Amino acid sequence: MTNSKGHIIAIGGGGFGRSPENPIIEKYILDQSGSANPNICFFPTASAENKGYIDNYYKAFSKLDCTPTHISLFKRTPDVKAEIEKSDIIYIGGGNTKSMLAVFEEWGINRLLLEAYKNGKILAGVSAGAICWFTKGITDSWADELKVLDCLDMLPGCCCPHYDGEKDRRPSVIEFINSGKIESCIALEDGAAIHYKDGNLMNAVSFYKGANVYNIYQENGDIREIPMDSIEIY
């Protein structure tokens, strides 16, 4: 795991991909920058740069005080290092985590994100863009089953998104803990996020009513599923 001075905000599900007209968690992310008009850069890589998803990103962030841009890695690609350096916030979208990380590795983006984190920038993302920051993540990158995937290791432990939104998530997390594949898991429901600063937990955030972040681990042979205290912003 890497020491750093930045923020990481990992979102379990929801946000502009589903509700661009109501950018609640998006405003929370922008507010952390301390800038009146922060630059935010979106990587829609995991979705294979789905046009509707990119449109929703601009629809949501155009309602807020910021300057939104995005980076394509499948068309003519700009100077990624320069784009990241001029951004206050880097937002990673949802989709296929394994494929996204492979593309990031090829383009050297893993290293650029780490540098951004060390330099105090805000890293954020949903689903694939939430789990990628952790040592491991629970992913549906394969069609047949959920698997544990090695990720960027900027935060310790394992993360699972969509904990309440997809029926296989909870039993899979419990199975992975009981089998020893992971020791514990931060599980994010849709409409919930977890916010770290300087590598330390700052807030669990609920932007849907009743949405939770859970710390899940085994104790004396039993699975403990502990909801974190959250700030409510809905």
Catalytic residue IDs? 127, 162
For residues 43 and 78, give the distance between their C-alpha atoms in angstroms, rounded to a whole number: 12
Could you tell me which of 113, 104, 110, 108 has the C-alpha nearest to residue 85? Answer: 113
Q: Distance between CA atoms of 20 and 117, rounded to whole angstroms? A: 26
